Structure formats: structure tokens, C-alpha cells
Amino acid sequence: MPTRIRRCRMIVAGLFCIIMTHACALDLSTDVASFNVTSNSMSPAFEAGDTVVAEMHVNPNRLKRGDIILMASLKKDGKLWPKRIIAVTGDRIGFHHGRIVLNGEYLDEPYVAQENNLETALKFDVTDERTVPKDHFCVLGDNRDHSYDCKDFGMIHRSHIRGKIVSVQNRRMLSQKN
């Protein structure tokens, strides 16, 4: 019986991805793809095993703070990393006691669980703000203590952005329904 339930859950997840892909494909200017999440760098928003649907070849000029994007791995291994846009061109950004200071004010980040931000809070206390250069973004994982992101490699150029996540099929939500 448990195997049958798991199989049903996988079918539902697959159908969801197919339906979302076709729904998004109706907009002819949109190219969509689904991806299996392989790390917990964006926890609690989504975790390893979840499936995300992304609009590919997105215009970086249309991206805004809070959007979750897929960026090309800086390790040049062909992987895509999900990250949240924290700051855009011209923004001033800094860290104070693990909190982000954006344009002189603390950024409200309800998507970051404090237990995922303890090491980062101790490690990063940058009192001098940096301005995001033209055509660049500051991107971070929601699971700050376990995310390789701008605090490690700096701002990313818009050419590293491959897509914008538009939907998440959360594995935990499926298991709670049955």
C-alpha cells in the first residue's frame, strides 16, 4: 500500500509539472522547464526533492527584488542554482548582525528561518555598504548558513541568469495530503 501511495504522489507531481508547463507555454514568448531541486540552499521555500517550474530565457530587466532565479553555476559544471534576488542595479547593500541593510533600512525577510541564519549572523557584519553595479544582482539562498551565494562570490552579472522560478511542487505538501 505505501508503494501505491508513493506512486500516486509521483504521478500527481508529474501531472502538475506537465499542466504548469503547458499553461505557461500558451504564452508563446515564454519557454518553461521543470527542475528537480538537489540542495537545501533555498530552505524553507523549497528543499532537495522538490520540483520547480521556471520561465527560461527571462529578460533580466524585468526581474525585481524577491524573485527567485536560476543562475548558471559559477563552477562551470552545467548546473543551475536557485537563488533569491536581494538587490538590483543601483541598490546599496550591507550586512549588520546577519541582517541585510538595503538602501539604509533593514530588509524584512520572512522567508529566512532564523535557525538557518545563525552562522551567517556571526560571520557577516559589513558596516560599509556596497552599491550593486550596473547589470548586476545580489543573490542569496534563503538557507543562509548552507548556501553558496553572493556573500561568497560577490554580485552576479545578468548573463549568469538562466530563468525565473514561477512554481514549486513541494514534496512535503504532497505527503501531508495522504
- Return the SS3 of 37: coil
Nearest in space to 42 (alpha carbons), one of 99, 87, 83, 98: 83
Is the model's pLDDT at 46 over the cut of 50? yes
User: Using an 8 Å Cβ cutoff, are 42 and 141 in contact?
Assistant: yes
Q: 104 is in which domain, residue-wise?
A: 2-177
Torsion of CA 70, 77, 123, 158, to 10 degrees: -40
Q: Which three cell numbers stand for residue 33?
A: 522547464
Task: Using pLDDT thresholds of 50, 70 and 90, give the confidence band for residue 175.
Answer: very low
Mean pLDDT over each residue of the chain, to the nearest integer: 80
The angle formed by the CA atoms of residues 141, 145 and 149, to the nearest 5 degrees, is 40
User: Using an 8 Å Cβ cutoff, are 80 and 73 in contact?
Assistant: yes
pTM score of the predicted model: 0.76
Length of the chain, in residues:
178
Count of Cβ atoms closer than 10 Å to residue 73 Cβ:
13
Indicate the number of domains in the chain: 1
CATH number of the domain enclosing 113: 2.10.109.10
| Confidence (pLDDT) at 76 | 79
